[in-house]
Amino acid sequence: MLASQCLCTNLRRAARGVSRHYDGALDGFGINVAQYSLLCNLQRLDQPSISSLAEAMGLDRSTLGRNLRVLEGEGLVQLVEGDDLRNRLVVLTVAGEQRLAAALPAWEAAQQKLIDQLGAEKRETLLALLDELA
């Protein structure tokens, strides 16, 4: 692999590697890292609108919509009408909650492996740098 000083290239390469790491951990649960993150955000936000969920996750509505359709097809989320008929809410189903609970130990193990690899100090530095860039 050619070395590059480009921040974008290196961040994207690192992000793909980290995604592969978590995807591997979630392999037996029928969801990938993006879907796991979406389900976690749904659990945390408790029936958000599509717009507020997209904003919370830093995604555009079309990308979020594609991911939601997959999870809806799996019975993990449900789209329901909100108070305003123009606004749809995203609900985590019981099956979605169960899938999250089942995958949590694998996610935590993957997380711990990366923390162990980096060490606590580098982890804190990385989180601060990523927050600054975001």
Amino acid at 33: V
**pTM assigned to the model:** 0.86
User: Taking the domain 8-133, which CATH number applies?
Assistant: 1.10.10.10
How confident is residue 84, by pLDDT bands cut at 50, 70 and 90? confident
pLDDT at residue 1 greater than cutoff 80 = no
Dist CA 48 CA 89 (whole Å)? 5
Give tens-digit pLDDT for 54-77. 999 999 988 999 999 999 999 999
Rounded alpha-carbon distances, angstroms, from residue 63 to 51, 106, 122: 12, 26, 32
pLDDT at residue 101 greater than cutoff 80 = yes
Per domain, the residue ranges of the chain are: 8-133
Helix axes 50-57, 33-45, angle to 10 degrees: 120
